[in-house]
């Protein structure tokens, strides 16, 4: 099982480096199925911090600080509520919550008409608060951030760079709130190395793989993991 999760981690890290997004979205299904909804999300958040640490230096010069700081501030204020929600829910309910957030994350591109109203400082505060809650509870903060980027006409390059700083801030606070993973040091070392290696590999792949292809692979992996996770939640409910 560790080998399967390690492969998924490398794929998620490569996609993160190529597209600027989706590390947790790709990884969440396999890691939750392997380690459970609480420990799985905690591991995903821990690895996402590693991915962001490797991604931020290369993105630093393109960060849009005026938007980034509003998103960070609102998200960090809402993160404790997300962590409390995850801690309070039973395992089956938490699986359904994470699965529902995964579906939302994968459907955000269809919310263009709604996203157009999420703009300016109020939009950044609202989107940041929702993203912070979702990050601490499931790691899936991308939908709210993407909606704000669409509504505020945020250039893709600037958004992708700024998102690395936002993810790093959310990730550090979420790990502090939830605590470090309880899994074996061997598992965490292997997965951490796969994350770092995937980011490095992605910097090479990014020059050769079209963005559209990377996005299709990301969607395929993420939908597969989300649907299997929802299936597990349904089976748990029925039994």
pLDDT in tens, 147-175: 777 777 888 778 888 888 999 999 999 99
- What are 58-62's contacts with CB under 8 Å, separation 24+? 58/203, 59/20, 59/160, 59/161, 59/162, 59/164, 59/165, 60/161, 61/161, 62/157, 62/158, 62/160, 62/161, 62/162
- pLDDT tens figures, 15-46: 887 777 778 888 888 898 889 888 988 999 99
Q: What pLDDT is attached to residue 170?
A: 94
Among 162, 188, 163, CA closest to 175: 188
What pTM did the predictor assign?
A: 0.81
State percent of the chain over pLDDT 90: 29
Q: What pLDDT is attached to residue 138?
A: 80
Spatial distance between the Cα atoms of 185 and 115, rounded to a whole number of angstroms: 42
């Amino acid at each position: 099982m560790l080998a399967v999760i390690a492969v998924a981690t490398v794929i998620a890290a490569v996609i993160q480096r190529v597209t600027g997004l989706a590390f947790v979205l790709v990884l969440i299904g396999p890691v939750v199925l392997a380690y459970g909804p609480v420990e799985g999300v905690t591991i995903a958040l821990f690895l996402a911090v590693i991915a962001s640490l490797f991604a931020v230096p290369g993105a630093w010069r393109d960060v849009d600080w005026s938007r980034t700081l509003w998103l960070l501030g609102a998200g960090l204020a809402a993160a404790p509520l997300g962590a409390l929600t995850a801690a309070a829910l039973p395992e089956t309910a938490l699986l359904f919550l994470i699965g529902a957030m995964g579906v939302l994350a994968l459907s955000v591109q269809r919310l263009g008409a709604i996203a157009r109203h999420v703009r300016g400082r109020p939009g950044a505060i609202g989107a940041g608060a929702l993203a912070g809650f979702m990050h601490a509870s499931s790691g899936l903060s991308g939908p709210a951030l993407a909606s704000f980027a669409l509504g505020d006409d945020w250039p893709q390059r600037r958004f992708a760079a700024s998102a690395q700083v936002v993810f790093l801030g959310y990730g550090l606070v979420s790990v502090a709130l939830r605590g470090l993973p309880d899994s074996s040091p061997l598992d965490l070392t292997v997965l951490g190395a796969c994350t770092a290696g995937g980011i490095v590999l992605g910097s090479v792949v990014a020059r050769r793989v079209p963005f559209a292809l990377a996005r299709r692979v990301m969607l395929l992996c993420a939908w597969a993991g989300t649907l299997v996770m929802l299936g597990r939640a349904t089976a748990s409910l029925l039994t």
